[in-house]
Amino acid sequence: MAALKNLESGELRIGGSDSLFKHYLLPYLEDFHQKKPGIRLQLNHGTTPEIISFLKEGRIDLGVVRMPIVDAQLEVRESIQLKDCFVAGARYAELKDVILSLDMLLQYPVILFSRNSRARMAITELFQSYGYKLKPEIEVGSVDLLIEFARKGHGISYITREFISRELEEGSLFEIQLDVQLPPSQVGIMTMRNMPLSSSAKKFIDLVR
pLDDT tens, 86-119? 999 999 999 999 999 999 999 999 999 887 777 8
Task: Say how far apart CA 200 and CA 10 lie, in whole Å.
Answer: 8
Cα dist. 68→46, 184, 186, 187 in Å? Answer: 17, 12, 8, 9
Alpha helices in 130-164 (DSSP H): 143-151
* Triad 73, 77, 80: Cα angle to 5°: 140
User: What is the tens place of the pLDDT at every residue in 160-207?
Assistant: 999 999 999 999 999 999 999 998 888 999 999 988 998 899 999 998
Alpha helices in the chain (DSSP H): 2-5, 18-20, 26-35, 48-56, 102-105, 118-129, 143-151, 165-170, 199-208
